[in-house]
Each structure stands twice: as structure tokens, then as C-alpha cells.
Amino acid sequence: MNKVTIYTDGAARGNPDGPGGYGAVLQFVDRNGTLHERELSQGYAKTTNNRMELMAVIAALEALTRPCVVELFSDSKYVVDAFNEHWIDRWIRTGWKKADKTPVLNVDLWQRLLAAKEKHDVTFRWVRGHAGNAVNERCDKLATAAADAVAQDV
């Protein structure tokens, strides 16, 4: 399986229900040692930061055309901890309820993310946002530019 590194970020202006966007950078080094990169971004008129964090991961995983070993970096503890702390397993077992018995938000996107990651071997890694990681900073620029472009159209 090919090894792909993915960085993702989401942004929302006027969270919740303001314009938002996501950005993702996919990296793959071929057998000749050449780095290939693909950038993804999209804006939405009314959204939340958490929805955009999820959409960045979903879009990146859905862009992969064959099963891959994926190292996915996100500055969203919401996304990373859902998998690394096994929240998602508990949510599924409890019918998408949190520990306090309230409904999990964004179930539609969590289910879409689960479907998108199903054929891949994904490791989620947290990266501190706005801390000098060049690829994470690029994702932030993609996400905010997408959010700002939609805000201008509204």
C-alpha cells in the first residue's frame, strides 16, 4: 500500500453559522523519491469550525483512489481524540450519545468520515496549530481563504 501523509485544517468566521472553509494537503513520495502534493479546499456559507475540521479529513480521505497507509495530521483535538481516545467507538456503541447522554454533534460527518477511512490504515496525529509547522500553516491559509471567498459572496 502507498504511504500518504495528510495535513488538514478547518476554519469558520462567526462560529457557529458563519462562513467557513477547509484545507488539506496530501503528500506522497513515489518510488523515485519525488514528492507529489495535492491541495484541497472548499468554502461553505453557514457552518461551524468543527464541521470544517471534519470536512477537511473527509475530503482528503475521499480523494485517495486506492487503499493507503495514511498518517493524518490535524490541529483539531476534536477529530484526533475521537479516534485516539476511542470516543468514536463509544459513540457508536451508545447510538451516537456522549458520556453525558446528550447526542453527538455532526453525526452525518462522523459517519461519512468512517466510510471514507474504511479502506485505509489511518493513524491520527495531533499537531499544534499556528506553531510554525509549514504544512499545517498552508492548510490554515487554504481554509481561511475558502471561508473568506464564501463570505464575500454572501
The catalytic site residues sit at 9-10, 53, 75, 130, 140
As given in the structure block, the three cell numbers for residue 41 are 479546499
**Strand 35-47's sheet: what is its strand order?**
35-47, 18-29, 2-12, 68-74, 121-126
Residue type, 116: A
Torsion of CA 102, 88, 11, 9, to 10 degrees: 170
DSSP string, 80-109: HHHHHT-HHHHHHHTTSB-TTSPBPTTHHH
Residue type, 68: C
With vertex at residue 72, the alpha carbon angle to CA 15 and CA 64, rounded to the nearest 5 degrees, is 100
